[in-house]
Structure 1
Amino acid sequence: MNNTRNIIRQSKTLVGPFPEFNVKDVSECPHELFLEWFKAAIDSGVHEPHAMTLSTTDHNGFPDARVLIIKDVDQDGWYFASSSQSNKGKQIEVNPNVALTFYWSQVGRQIRIRGTARKMDKDMSANDFLNRGVTARAIALIGKQSSIVKDQIEFEQEFEKQIYHIEQNPNIVSPTWTLYRVTASEVEFWQADEERKHIRLKYSNEGDEWIRTQLWA
């Protein structure tokens, strides 16, 4: 136990230098600042900046979280996709209130988004599905995400079967594949500081207006 604690304590954190963050010179809408930070993350060589943590709650109120990728961002919200019959899809059906978290350690930046997830129409979902790679489509078509698999042979057989279906019908779409949009109620931008004087800026949606407030670190 003590050895583990020492290893953790000796692990370096918040190693800069980090970019500056002037809270007085920011966009009025959070999606615009998000896109600025996202581009800066790409320019800084952040690995997989589109990876995010999606947090939901199950029917018992227990939190659940997993990492997936953002598909798009615009003035209406943040988009991701999944099977509506996956655990996260079922949880969203019961409680559409979700949270998204992005963390880019190389630039010391974190973005937290709280809002409501809504299903997009079938055409948008189908278009998203068809833009996925063949392997990803085949796995989605199996339709058994989070179910128990007996062994790897069973998986490979189902996978090959779906690959064949795609070869025979390239436009086949999983009936449960769903594109979701998260309409944000709050978006917080966190900029790390090597001396722990972190900067936090929160956007809160009030009707048609975004209110910006700086928070204590």
Structure 2
Amino acid sequence: MDQVHSKLISSKTLVGPFPPFHPEDAGESPHLLFLKWYQEALKYGIHETHSMTLSTIGVDGTPDARVLILKDVDEAGWYFASSANSTKGVQLHNNPRVALTFYWSMIGKQVRIRGNAVPMDRERSAEDFLNRGIVARAIALIDKQSLILEDQQNFHSALADQLDRMEQAPELISPSWSLYRVEANEVEFWQADEERKHTRLTYERQQGSWAKSLLWP
């Protein structure tokens, strides 16, 4: 444990070099800059570029967070999916205010998004569900995410049951599955600098358009 502790406190951070970021060249839409940064992350071969942290607010006011995947992004917002019966689904029903965080350490880029999560219609949610892998769909059909599991064998039995159901009905869709769109109010782009002279550019929605500002690091 002492060795782990020593490694922890001596670990170096923000080891570049990092690609340059010129905020004066950023466009008027945060989603387009996001796509540009995402493409750059892909070019550098960053593993699971679509991984992001979704932060929600619990029914008791306690913040909560977990890593999941980005499904899509367009001018309207950023998309993810979940069961509406899951812990995060219940949290979103009670309070749609969320934050998304992307961090691509290899290129020193972080994107922070704050806004409201809006459930999409049944057709779009069903389409997303059918695009999932077979096992992922079967687990979603069990629809017991985050509930207490008394025995691992119970999970395997429930999974087998749902796989059997899907074999009989391949187009089976979980009624609780929902695609969500995060409609952003604020998007911040953070570019790391090895000397800690970071560059921060934020977009804030004001009366239907985006206002850009630089922030102190």
Give the TM-score taking structure 1 as reference length.
0.98
For the residue of structure 2 that corresponds to 1:24, the secondary structure is helix
Structure-2 separation of matches of 1:206 and 1:9: 42
Structure-1 separation of matches of 2:117 and 2:84: 12
Residue 64 of structure 1: aligned partner: 64
1:115 and 2:111 correspond? no
**Structure 1 letter corresponding to 2:147:** S
Indicate the percent of aligned positions where both proteins have the same amino acid: 57
Structure-2 separation of matches of 1:119 and 1:16: 39
1:87 and 2:87 correspond? yes
For the residue of structure 2 that corresponds to 1:141, the secondary structure is helix
Q: What is the CA deviation profile of residues 87-130 of structure 1, one whole-angstrom value per residue up to 9, with x for unaligned ones?
A: 00000101000000000001000000000001100000000000
- Inter-CA distance 154–2: structure 2 relative to 1 (3 Å threshold): closer
1:202 and 2:202 correspond? yes
**Structure 1 letter corresponding to 2:195:** E
Shift of 1:7: 2.2
**Structure 2 letter corresponding to 1:32:** L
Structure-1 separation of matches of 2:4 and 2:209: 48
**Residues matched between the structures, number:** 217
Residue 48 of structure 2: aligned partner: 48
Shift of 1:5: 4.8
1:149 and 2:120 correspond? no
Structure-2 separation of matches of 1:134 and 1:21: 41
Unaligned runs of 5+ residues in structure 2 are none
Residue 166 of structure 1: aligned partner: 166
Structure-2 separation of matches of 1:116 and 1:4: 39
Give the TM-score taking structure 2 as reference length.
0.98
**Structure 2 letter corresponding to 1:108:** G
Residue 215 of structure 1: aligned partner: 215
Structure-2 separation of matches of 1:22 and 1:104: 18
- Inter-CA distance 157–2: structure 2 relative to 1 (3 Å threshold): closer
Structure-2 separation of matches of 1:120 and 1:71: 13
**Structure 2 letter corresponding to 1:61:** G
Structure-2 separation of matches of 1:74 and 1:88: 23
Residue 175 of structure 2: aligned partner: 175
Q: CA RMSD in A?
A: 1.1
Residue 12 of structure 1: aligned partner: 12
**Structure 2 letter corresponding to 1:56:** T
For the residue of structure 1 that corresponds to 2:183, the secondary structure is strand
Shift of 1:71: 0.3
| Runs ≥4 residues deviating over 2 A | 1-7
Shift of 1:207: 1.6
Shift of 1:9: 2.3
Structure-2 separation of matches of 1:164 and 1:39: 40
Shift of 1:4: 5.4
Shift of 1:3: 5.8
**Structure 2 letter corresponding to 1:160:** A
Structure-1 separation of matches of 2:12 and 2:45: 20
For the residue of structure 2 that corresponds to 1:204, the secondary structure is strand
Q: What is the CA deviation profile of residues 72-97 of structure 1, one whole-angstrom value per residue up to 9, with x for unaligned ones?
A: 00000000000000000000101000
